[in-house]
Amino acid sequence: MIREDYEIVIGLEVHAELSTKTKIFCSCPTEFGAKPNTHICPVCMALPGALPVLNEKVVEYAVKAGLATNCEISRDSKNDRKNYFYPDLPKSYQISQFDKPLCEHGYVEIETEAGKKKIRLTRIHIEEDAGKLNHNEFGAGSLVDLNRAGVPLIEIVSEPDIANAQEAEAYLRKLKSILEYIEVSDCKMQEGSFRADVNVSVKKKNSEKLGTRTEMKNMNSFKSITRAIEYEAQRQIEELENGGTILQTTLRWDDVSGRTFEMRDKEDAQDYRYFPEPDLVAIRLSEEYIENVRKTLPELPESRRKRYLEEFKLSEKDSRLLTSSKYLSDMFEKAQAICHNAKAVANWLLSDVSRILNEKELEPENIPFTAEQLAQMIELIEKGTISSSIGKKILEELFINPRSPKAIIEEKGWVQISDEKAIQEIVEKVLQDNPQSVADYKAGKDRALGFLVGQAMKATKGKANPQMLNQMFIEKMK
């Protein structure tokens, strides 16, 4: 637990890879997972004499992100060079934006148990990704893969408005869902296309002065981020309480040991020698351009949430949870359009599907089955072909080897027993084996009925029609 007399101050810098077809300064593809150094050209491998040309789509996507996060869009912006040496940075400078970012002064609204809150955005700017070093992957030594060099990024910088790990997670989830909704980034965290640098400091409550912050770079899982924030805040408080001081450093979060470590090559006040990129011209955006981009913005989570309340009569909470992820929300809409049972689709997605995602530490975009498959399963339950407990088993199957629920049922012999004669036989058998429960029921203990139904389900491996069982038990015990 964080001590009551301290406050945590968190700022996040999110890097999201934009899903443009080509790189930011050349026409190489941005596709992930290709053979090393196959998506390269003189420009992105920084051959002598090669020059960058700005991909206009990158500007458009960044402006879209800015508009979706309530930013002011700069009419007059430019690129700058950030100079440093590293083998994955072929030009020895990254083309980024320094003092004139494309978007400024935005905000996103988050909701946690404590209620709603606005998190302000300082800026969103465009820049290029670096290449990747493969250490000892192809024999001894380190090799450079430049496929990722020049993949476009936006960096979204928040104000230090975030007060705890829950808010940080809510903010990141909100940002991620916005970027997914407007389709500027696929936000695949495992592939590193949505990652965050986390700045944490602590201060005594009522103290005006911000504490010294530490930074944890390139974190790409919500779980690690929340754990790291909690650990780091606690560590800083303990350090201060023990009379120590916090040094401004870059830390590495280690998921296995659950602690932060100081990075060995800590930045000794790295001087990036920013200056305007002379190979590119200024970025000037007209009102008309910005308005045209605004027109392409799709429905955002906020308005979808409101629609779910009215159109599908879902609860406030369910609407919010469903729309928190575009993938989840899209699946909901598709499935309900097929089976016309919005409540059931919402329930399945938010209870069992979410539980399995949680257990497997997956995100909604990792759901392996289709909305059609989910809708079919719900229809089968509605028709009484299967029970909902079989439905749960089908869902497990869908996560392992997605295929049509009908095929699964046939293959596994899971068709619900709705034959009156068969049900009667089971009921009689259970009544015979549990005289005490029958006595209890007749004595007015209604709970005994549930037990008897459970026994019957167990005997049929969940295949018996629960409504029919219920009715028949009541009948027989009259």
Partner 1 sequence: MDITKLTVHELQEKLENKELTVMQIVQAYANRIEEKEEKVKAFLSVSTKEALEEAKKIDEEGRNTSLAGIPIGIKDNICTQGEKTTCASKMLENFVSPYDATVIENLKREKIISLGKLNMDEFAMGGSTENSAFQITKNPWNLHTVPGGSSGGSAAAVAADMVPWALGSDTGGSIREPAAFCGVVGLKPTYGLVSRYGLVAFASSLDQIGPITKDVTDSAILLNLLAGHDEKDSTSADVEKKDYTKALKQDVKGMKIGVPKEFFGEGLNQEVKDKLEEAIQMYKSLGAEVEEFSLDIAKYSLAAYYIIACAEASSNLGRFDGIRYGYRTKNYTDLKELFKNSRSEGFGPEVKRRIILGTYVLSSGYYDAYYKKAQKVRTYVKNEFDKAFEKYDVILTPTSPTVAFEINSKCNNPLEMYLADICTVSINIAGLPAISIPCGVDSNQMPVGMQLIGKQFAEETILQAAYTFEQKIKFRETYSPKFKE
Decide: is 50 part of the binding site for partner 1 (CB under 8 A). Answer: yes
Decide: is 237 part of the binding site for partner 1 (CB under 8 A). Answer: no
Query: 11 near 199, Cβ under 8 Å?
Result: yes
- In the complex, what is the shortest distance from the CB of residue 99 to partner 1, in angstroms, rounded to a whole number? 11
- In the complex, what is the shortest distance from the CB of residue 281 to partner 1, in angstroms, rounded to a whole number? 5
Decide: is 99 part of the binding site for partner 1 (CB under 8 A). Answer: no
3-state secondary structure (DSSP) of residue 182: coil
Cβ burial of 188 (10 Å; 0-12, 13-18, 19+) is middle
Stretch that binds partner 1, among 111-119, 169-177, 277-285, 426-434 (CB under 8 A): 277-285
Judged by CB under 8 A, the chain residues 67 through 86 that form the site for partner 1 are 81, 83, 85
Q: Check residue 465 and report its DSSP letter.
A: -
Long-range CB contact pairs, 312-319, < 8 A, 24+: 312/336, 312/342, 312/343, 312/346, 313/342, 313/343, 314/342, 314/343, 314/346, 318/346, 318/350
- CA distances to 129, 135, 416 from 80, in Å: 14, 30, 66
Decide: is 439 part of the binding site for partner 1 (CB under 8 A). Answer: no
Q: Kindly state the tokens that stand for 441.
A: 């029921």
Decide: is 197 part of the binding site for partner 1 (CB under 8 A). Answer: no
Among 92, 248, 303, 351, binds partner 1 (CB under 8 A): 92
Residues whose CB is less than 8 angstroms from the CB of residue 35 and which lie 6 or more positions away in sequence, other chains included: none
- In the complex, what is the shortest distance from the CB of residue 245 to partner 1, in angstroms, rounded to a whole number? 24
Among 240, 263, 280, 290, binds partner 1 (CB under 8 A): 280
Lookup result for tokens 């990722």: 148
- In the complex, what is the shortest distance from the CB of residue 197 to partner 1, in angstroms, rounded to a whole number? 20
Q: Mark 271-290 as b/e (b = at least 16 C-beta within 10 Å).
A: eeeeeebeebeebebeeeeb
Stretch that binds partner 1, among 41-49, 209-217, 291-299, 327-335 (CB under 8 A): 41-49
- In the complex, what is the shortest distance from the CB of residue 12 to partner 1, in angstroms, rounded to a whole number? 25
Stretch that binds partner 1, among 10-18, 47-55, 438-446, 467-475 (CB under 8 A): 47-55
Stretch that binds partner 1, among 40-48, 99-107, 117-125, 307-315 (CB under 8 A): 40-48
- In the complex, what is the shortest distance from the CB of residue 259 to partner 1, in angstroms, rounded to a whole number? 27
Of the pair 265, 288, the CB lying nearest partner 1 is at 265
Decide: is 297 part of the binding site for partner 1 (CB under 8 A). Answer: no
Q: How far apart are CA 347 and CA 364, in angstroms?
A: 15
3-state secondary structure (DSSP) of residue 142: strand
Of the pair 65, 126, the CB lying nearest partner 1 is at 126
Q: Check residue 351 and report its DSSP letter.
A: I
Stretch that binds partner 1, among 268-276, 356-364, 380-388, 417-425 (CB under 8 A): 268-276
Among 42, 258, 298, 368, binds partner 1 (CB under 8 A): 42
- In the complex, what is the shortest distance from the CB of residue 27 to partner 1, in angstroms, rounded to a whole number? 10
Among 218, 266, 275, 298, binds partner 1 (CB under 8 A): 275
Among 31, 87, 118, 296, binds partner 1 (CB under 8 A): 87
218 torsion bin: left (phi>0), alpha (psi -120 to 50), beta (else) = left
Decide: is 372 part of the binding site for partner 1 (CB under 8 A). Answer: no
The radius of gyration of the chain's CA atoms, rounded to the nearest angstrom, is 28
Among 11, 66, 90, 101, binds partner 1 (CB under 8 A): 90
Decide: is 150 part of the binding site for partner 1 (CB under 8 A). Answer: no
Cβ burial of 192 (10 Å; 0-12, 13-18, 19+) is middle
Query: 195 near 189, Cβ under 8 Å?
Result: yes
Q: How far apart are CA 25 and CA 127, in angstroms?
A: 10
Residues whose CB is less than 8 angstroms from the CB of residue 340 and which lie 6 or more positions away in sequence, other chains included: none
3-state secondary structure (DSSP) of residue 26: coil
Decide: is 24 part of the binding site for partner 1 (CB under 8 A). Answer: no
- CA distances to 151, 281, 287 from 54, in Å: 12, 9, 20
Of the pair 98, 107, the CB lying nearest partner 1 is at 98
208 half-sphere exposure, CB direction, 13 A CA radius = 0
Decide: is 474 part of the binding site for partner 1 (CB under 8 A). Answer: no
Among 45, 179, 357, 456, binds partner 1 (CB under 8 A): 45
Decide: is 53 part of the binding site for partner 1 (CB under 8 A). Answer: yes
Among 15, 78, 91, 195, binds partner 1 (CB under 8 A): 91
Decide: is 337 part of the binding site for partner 1 (CB under 8 A). Answer: no
Decide: is 268 part of the binding site for partner 1 (CB under 8 A). Answer: no
Of the pair 47, 114, the CB lying nearest partner 1 is at 47
Query: 57 near 66, Cβ under 8 Å?
Result: no
Decide: is 279 part of the binding site for partner 1 (CB under 8 A). Answer: yes
Decide: is 243 part of the binding site for partner 1 (CB under 8 A). Answer: no
Query: 224 near 231, Cβ under 8 Å?
Result: no
H helices, E strands: number in the chain? 16, 16
User: Which residues form the interface with partner 1 (CB under 8 A)?
Assistant: 42, 45-54, 81, 83, 85, 87, 90-93, 144, 271, 273-275, 278-281
